[in-house]
Amino acid sequence: MKMHRLKSIALAVAATAGVLAGSSAYSAEQDAAAAPAAPPKPLVPVSAITKVGERRVIAEQKSQVRIDRLAAETGDLLQDYKTVMKQVDGLRVYNARLEKQIAGQLRRIESLGKAVDEATVIQRQITPLLIRMIDGLEQFVNLDVPFHIDERKERVEFLRDNMDRSDITIAEKFRQVLEAYKIENEYGRKIDSYKGVADVAGSERNVNFLRIGRIGLLYQTNDGEHSGAWDKTQGRWVELDAGDYRGAIQKGLRIARKQASIDIMKLPIPAPEAAK
């Protein structure tokens, strides 16, 4: 009985909903019929459409111009990039070479530093050596045949004075001493003549000296009447027989002055001695 009552209520609700829906649809149709009709949309002119197309074409042309310009700029930038990269590669090779050269220079600097240190030590030893060389040269001049004696002694004194000068480098001092030794060595290889004064018969007279290396030193007076030779054993001048050596000495003087060709001369030359 209860179930039958619920079914009756449900049917009543459904019938009521159907009536309301039909009433709403009818009301909507009535409202639509009563509303005025919408006006028609206006037509767009062809000229306006054409203008829009033209503007679009112009815009596209401008865009293409910009695209072409950007493409050209991009190509230029790419070419510049390739050029720069080539330069970079060249600089890498150049830098590698420079690094090797710098490494070599650093090694050279290191070796020069060591050489400077060693040179300082050597310089301290050169000065005593030069002094000994000058002393030896002075002793040699005093014991040697007395030709150009004043000039040679002045040269030794010049070297000795330079040893105390601070404005002359040690290298220049060494060069000067070697030059003096070279000059002394040249004396033994040449023949020359010069004017001077000699003790002749107890009085000093102007004479012409004839030097033949270091093996002979002779003189002859200007008138040719007196001739003499240096006796190394006695350490003095000895007079020679004018008849035996007058012509030979005159001939030697002419040869030394390059007034005659080299020839054999008969002169009093001491015999060689054995070295001690």
* Rounded-to-integer distance, Cα 246 and Cα 223, Å: 11
State mean pLDDT over 162-166: 90
Residue located via tokens 């220079």: 105
Q: Specify whether 213 is located in the same domain as 251.
A: yes
Does the pLDDT at position 19 exceed 50? Answer: no
- Rg of the chain over Cα atoms, rounded to whole angstroms, equals 64
Residue that finishes a domain, picked among 187, 216, 235: 187
Residue 202: inside a domain, yes or no?
A: yes
Residue 223: inside a domain, yes or no?
A: yes
Q: Specify whether 182 is located in the same domain as 195.
A: no
Q: Name 227's Cβ contacts closer than 8 Å, sequence gap at least 6.
A: 218, 219, 220, 221, 239, 240, 241, 242, 245, 246, 249
State mean pLDDT over 67-84: 86
Domains: count for the chain: 2
Q: Specify whether 141 is located in the same domain as 183.
A: yes
Residue 241: inside a domain, yes or no?
A: yes
Residue 153: inside a domain, yes or no?
A: yes
Please report the pLDDT score of residue 26 as a whole number.
Answer: 47
Q: Specify whether 219 is located in the same domain as 252.
A: yes
Q: What is the pLDDT of residues 178-224, one digit of tens each?
A: 999 999 999 988 899 999 988 877 788 899 999 999 888 999 998 88
Residue that finishes a domain, picked among 157, 187, 217: 187
Residue 47: inside a domain, yes or no?
A: no
- The predicted model scores a pTM of 0.56
Does the pLDDT at position 2 exceed 70? Answer: no
User: What is the rounded average pLDDT for all residues in the chain?
Assistant: 80
